[in-house]
Amino acid sequence: MAAVAPVISIKAGKCTQNGTNIVSQAEPGLLYLYNNPDDDLLHFCWKPRGAVEPAVEDDLIIIPGDARIIKYTGCTTGRVMVLKFSSSSQRHFFWLQSKAESSDSGHWSARDDVWVHRINVALQGPQDDDEEMGDIGLGSEEVEEEGSASRRGGADGGRAPASQPQNQSDFLQNLISQIQLPGAAGGGGYQQQEPMISLHDLLPSTTTTSLLAGMTPGTVDDLISNLPQGIVPRNATLAQKKEVIRKVLHSPQFSQSLVSLSVALRDGGMRGISDSLGVRLDPGEEGAGSDSVTTFVEAIKREEEKKEDSNMDID
């Protein structure tokens, strides 16, 4: 997910302006707003659905009260809305990609109207208006994963029962509790929770020492080529190279990287990381969750098993 939790996230595509015509683009997208804790500003973003963070295509910083979303009535074949600013003549068109709630694809249902209203409330910036914020579960209604059946089935739009907390520390609290209590909706929480393994749990020195001892020169070179060249002596011998690897494996910098990598896998980076490393995931494995490190290692295991098989074929 983009930065903390989005305030609002809905499925919408972009439209381009062609003369006086507004042309919708078919690409599935996600329109979302979030408060960036770093600059304390509200961001209005659009990205292709399923894009891995931080591949945001549009990122507009919103000054509270400056922007609003208006339903565009000039279109009868789809639900188009326009983002307008009072400080500029800039306009951005988007079309709702959630299935219309009636057979008329241009019909705005009450649900759609609520969404537009939600966005406008958020665009106004934080307010102490409890009534406004407290009435319906603001927010998480439409955070969907790409490819979920609901996109076609029209089952989307279910609202999260809990209301979205408004300030950043509540967001954080919420995020943390979600991470720590995956699937614990039925209560019980902590006791049944599977612990999250970190990659450094898998590489204690007992493991790395025996690994290093049995390494072939080819493997040593593979590993060395993944390290900064500045730390490898020129024309290093095999023993020197092994010593470099040993020191790196025991360095706090490497341990920290393993922790960050584990956190990234858990927090939704699974797909991006696996893709970039060429680790093939099975369908349904890319979701975030506490067991994502295990899933990742299992995927590596499958590759290694395959390699083992093909080696045998060659022999």
Partner 1 sequence: MSGGWNTIESDAGVFTYLVDNLGVKNVQFEEMIALDADYLKQQSPVYGVIFLFKYPVGQKKTDQAVDGQYDFAASEDIFFANQTIQNACATQAILSVLLNRGDLDLGDQLREFKEFTQAFPAELRGETLSNSELIRGVHNSFARSNPFIDEGTRAATEDDDLYHFIAYTPINGILYEIDGLQPSPISHGRCKEEEFPEKIIPVLQRRIERYPATEIRFNLLAMVQDLRIKAAEIGDVETVAREDEKRKLWIWENELRRHNFVGFAHEVLKRAVASKLRDGKYDEWMDEAKQKARDRMDERKKVRGQKEDIASP
Angle, vertex CA 165, rays to CA 164 and CA 169, nearest 5 = 140
CB of 146 to partner 1, least distance (A): 17
38 binds partner 1 (CB under 8 A): yes
Q: Which is nearer to partner 1, 121 or 212 (CB)?
A: 212
133 binds partner 1 (CB under 8 A): no
Q: Are 80 and 72 in contact (CB under 8 A)?
A: yes
Alpha carbons 158 and 114: distance in angstroms, whole number: 13
Q: Which is nearer to partner 1, 21 or 205 (CB)?
A: 205
| Site string (157-196) toward partner 1, x via CB under 8 A | -----x--------xxxxxxx-x-x-------xx--xxxx
Q: Which of 136, 143, 263, 281 binds partner 1 (CB under 8 A)?
A: 263
2 binds partner 1 (CB under 8 A): yes
By CB under 8 A, the count of residues binding partner 1 is: 74
CB of 103 to partner 1, least distance (A): 39
Q: Which of 50, 248, 281, 285 binds partner 1 (CB under 8 A)?
A: 248
* Neighbour-count burial for 28-62, b at 16+ CB within 10 Å, e otherwise: ebbbbbbbbeeeeebbbbbbebeeeeeebeeeeeb
57 binds partner 1 (CB under 8 A): no
Alpha carbons 254 and 56: distance in angstroms, whole number: 29
Q: Which is nearer to partner 1, 129 or 194 (CB)?
A: 194
37 binds partner 1 (CB under 8 A): yes
277 binds partner 1 (CB under 8 A): yes
Alpha carbons 188 and 315: distance in angstroms, whole number: 53
Alpha carbons 83 and 94: distance in angstroms, whole number: 8
267 binds partner 1 (CB under 8 A): yes
56 binds partner 1 (CB under 8 A): no
User: Look-up: residue for tokens 């979701």?
Assistant: 287
Site for partner 1 in 279-298 (CB under 8 A): 279, 294, 297
